[in-house]
Amino acid sequence: MSTSTSLNTEFVKGLWKENPVLASLLGLCPTLAVTNAAMNGLAMGLATTFVLLMSSMMISALRNFIPHQVRIAGYIVIIATFVTVADRFLAAFLPEISATLGPYIPLIVVNCLILGRQEAFSSRNGIGRSLIDSLGMGLGFIFVLVVLGIIREILGSGSIFGFAVMGDWFTPWMVMILPPGAFLTLGLLIALANWYNDPSSLSEIRIKQ
């Protein structure tokens, strides 16, 4: 990892090029499970980002102290601690969201995204850079969750964030809020991202950086 990579690059890469879900296929479990409504996707994204930021901070700070052989065990304890904090926070202050997201919040512990970032980045970089990297990844994750959530909510319930946007003429596509809809939408989204990233498609229209 070149030390001359600008902070901006570290931040931006998580948003699209190395988007945790679309590019690396990490964190699929929560992505599919809680995106039946935009609000749920947003809440899950925020909770995951919180855990990512806090654990990155701590692991980066401790990176020179943790022996290589026990690093995974150490990371796991730290991650699980912050997930517990987030889960309890929701149960104590936002009980409705806690009830809706249910067991998927504790499953943040095994979200490959977090462990992946610690292993690949936070354990080798300073606190500042690690936070920036985590922030980028976290936002990229939130982005996908919210987009997926909006699509499924519009087609499946006729609303966005709880506000009805489709009129009475629209019969909701029930399948969108159910598991098959989740898989289908994500599959199409990934295909769309593949198309967008392919330099040979519509290269005249796309602005080169």
HSE value, Cβ hemisphere, 13 Å, CA-based, for 46: 13
- Is 33 an interacting residue with respect to other proteins (CB under 8 A)? yes
- Is 45 an interacting residue with respect to other proteins (CB under 8 A)? no
- Token couple for 146: 């919210």
Measured in degrees and rounded to the nearest 5, phi and psi for residue 80 equal -60, -35
Which residue of 7, 120, 188, 202 would you call a contact of other proteins, by CB under 8 A?
A: 188
* Comparison of 95 and 162: residue with beta carbon closer to other proteins: 95
- Is 76 an interacting residue with respect to other proteins (CB under 8 A)? yes
d(CA 16, CA 194) in angstroms, rounded, equals 11
Place of tokens 């409504």: 37
**Within 125-154, which residues bind other proteins (CB under 8 A)?**
none
Q: Greatest CA separation found in the chain?
A: 62
| Secondary structure class of 93 (helix, strand, coil) | helix
- Is 65 an interacting residue with respect to other proteins (CB under 8 A)? yes
d(CA 167, CA 154) in angstroms, rounded, equals 11
Interface residues with other proteins (CB under 8 A) are 25-26, 28-30, 32-33, 62, 65-67, 69-70, 72-74, 76-78, 80-81, 83-85, 87-89, 91-93, 95, 102-103, 106-107, 109-112, 115, 156-157, 172, 174-175, 177-184, 186-188, 190-192, 194-195, 198
